[in-house]
């Protein structure tokens, strides 16, 4: 029986949102973007979390970083330890230190990444382990680095479709409890071997349809019971309801023009600040 647990999320209001470069197949610089609409949709998303009883923290948006709204890429936080992001593309480079500073200023232990990784876009904590994507943005060296830092097994999964360039565009963690971990995913986004790994680890997973995936429906946010999901992902919503989850449609269509949905805009802060400082792992 799915049960909600309170979460803390970090978000960044899209006041500087635009599509001024193309680093994934969803982005098209010739297409008009509506910043006011992006902000309005973002606020509905934030208010949805607040209404569910979650805590939402915000980081100040920076001019010249239009993708900063996709907070999930800013870091990975497990047990109050922050593994900073190191972005693949120079356009997003400054976001890594900006997010790291936000955490350091609040007393979190932060570790500066050596390896290229795009935070929770590719590193998804579930149960005692971490599911980690590679193939487009995050290097496999980051999987090793994250495993060393967090002391949790990291399962490497290869992404093969450029439309699903981050793991969180192809796979959703529905229940992160070690006792009953549950996911939904879109099999064609993964290599054959990685599909076999997912089948072995999660035989009861929800398999998303091509329509769900095309709406970035897997870029959903679950608190264990409530699942914030793109309204167009109707098959996924029905499958969630059948499993006892509560799908909550939230329209983030304007932010889809940058290649992101609800999850991209949401960085989960797991654990709390312990002692300020920088954590070095050898």
Query: For binding to ligand ARG (CB under 6 A), which residues are involved?
Result: 23-24, 27, 67, 70, 72-73, 92, 121, 166, 168-169, 258-260, 264
- Specify whether the CB–CB gap between 71 and 57 falls below 8 A: no
Query: Which helix (H) or strand (E) is 196 found in, with range?
Result: helix 192-201
Identify which of residues 129 and 221 has a Cβ nearer to ligand ARG in the complex: 221
> In terms of C-beta density within 10 A (0-12 exposed, 13-18 middle, 19 or more buried), how is residue 32 classed?
exposed
16 is catalytic: no
Integer Cα distance of 257 and 29 in angstroms? 9
Distance CA 97, CA 105 (A): 12
**List 16, 54, 166, 265, catalytic entry:** 166
| Residue closer to ligand ARG, measured from CB, 165 or 202 | 165
- Nearest residue (beta carbon) to ligand ARG: 264
Looking at the Cβ atoms of 24 and 156, the one nearer to ligand ARG is 24
Look up tokens 């955490």; give the residue. Answer: 103
As measured in angstroms, the least distance from the Cβ of 23 to ligand ARG is: 5
- Distance, in Å, from the CA atom of 266 to the CA atom of 269, rounded to the nearest integer, reads 9
Cα separation, 219 vs 251, whole angstroms: 12
CB 93 within 8 A of CB 67: no
Which of residues 127 and 260 has its CB atom nearest to ligand ARG in the complex?
260
SS3 265: helix
**Nearest approach, Cβ of residue 25 and ligand ARG (Å):** 9
CB of 102 to ligand ARG, least distance (A): 17
| Beta strand pairing call for 182-185 and 171-175 | antiparallel
Measured from the CB atom, the residue of 133 and 247 that comes closer to ligand ARG is 133
Candidates 12, 111, 264, 265; catalytic one: 264
CB of 66 to ligand ARG, least distance (A): 8
265 is annotated as an active-site residue: no
Q: How far is the CB of 162 from ligand ARG (least distance, A)?
A: 11
Just list the catalytic residues: 166, 264
């Amino acid at each position: 029986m799915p049960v909600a647990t309170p979460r803390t999320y970090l978000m960044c209001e899209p006041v500087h949102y635009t599509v001024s470069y193309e680093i994934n197949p969803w982005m098209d610089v010739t297409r008009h973007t509506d910043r006011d609409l992006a902000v309005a949709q973002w606020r509905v998303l934030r208010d949805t979390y607040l209404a569910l009883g979650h805590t939402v923290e915000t980081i100040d948006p920076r001019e010249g970083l239009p993708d900063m709204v996709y907070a999930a890429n800013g870091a990975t936080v497990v047990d109050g330890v922050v593994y900073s992001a190191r972005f693949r593309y120079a356009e997003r480079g400054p976001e890594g230190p900006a997010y790291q500073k936000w955490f350091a200023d609040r007393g979190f232990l932060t570790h500066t990444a050596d390896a290229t990784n795009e935070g929770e876009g590719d590193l998804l904590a579930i149960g005692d382990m971490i599911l980690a994507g590679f193939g487009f943005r995050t290097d496999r060296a980051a999987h090793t680095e994250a495993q060393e830092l967090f002391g949790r097994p990291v399962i490497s999964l290869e992404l093969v479709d450029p439309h699903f360039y981050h793991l969180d565009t192809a796979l959703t963690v529905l229940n992160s409890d070690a006792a009953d971990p549950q996911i939904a995913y879109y099999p064609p986004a993964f290599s054959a071997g990685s599909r076999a790994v997912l089948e072995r680890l999660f035989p009861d997973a929800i398999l998303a349809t091509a329509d769900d995936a095309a709406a970035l429906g897997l870029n959903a946010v679950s608190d264990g019971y409530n699942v914030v999901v793109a309204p167009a992902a109707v098959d996924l919503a029905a499958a969630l309801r059948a499993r006892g989850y509560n799908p909550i449609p939230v329209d983030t269509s304007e932010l889809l023009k940058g290649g992101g949905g609800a999850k991209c805009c949401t960085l989960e802060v797991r654990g709390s600040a312990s002692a300020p400082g920088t954590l070095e792992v050898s």
